[in-house]
Amino acid sequence: MNQRIAHLTLVVQDYDEAIDFYTTKLGFTLLEDTKLSETKRWVLVAPKGDGSCALLLAKADGQAQESRVGNQTGGRVFLFLYTDDFERDYQAYQQQGIKFVRSPKEETYGKVAVFEDLYGNLWDLLEPKA
């Protein structure tokens, strides 16, 4: 058997502002932006790398979904962005105005810092130890 997680849904307020944040600020690649209806699009973004998993940016539809934008995990770190060069990406993200809520720290598993995306979802930027 061969399985993998291909996409994770990230609820956003606006497609275009989310695309701009992920591609401009974080340097992700826009993989697809297909109009499905007047209000719905299929938007995939992914970090540069092996392409094994992408974010499906889904515009919130209704009050229940809107209440989850920026807090899909109840305040816990939601996504983990692995890097092969922590200092390069940490410096680049700071220059892009990314807000880090926990400073870089050496852990037993690698170097890590926590940042917020444009809606407040928490991410780990992590360079794992070899």
Domains assigned to the chain: 1-69 (3.10.180.10), 73-130 (3.10.180.10)
Q: How high is the pLDDT of residue 50? A: 79
When pLDDT is cut at 50, 70 and 90, the band that residue 49 belongs to is confident
* pLDDT at position 43: 98
Which single residue is written with the structure tokens 């600020």?
A: 25
Q: What is the pLDDT at residue 86?
A: 98
Given a cut of 80, whether residue 51 has pLDDT beyond it is no
**What was the pLDDT predicted at 122?**
97
User: What is the rounded average pLDDT of the residues 118-124?
Assistant: 97
Q: What is the pLDDT of residue 110?
A: 97
pTM for the whole structure: 0.93
The predicted model gives 97-113 an average pLDDT of 97
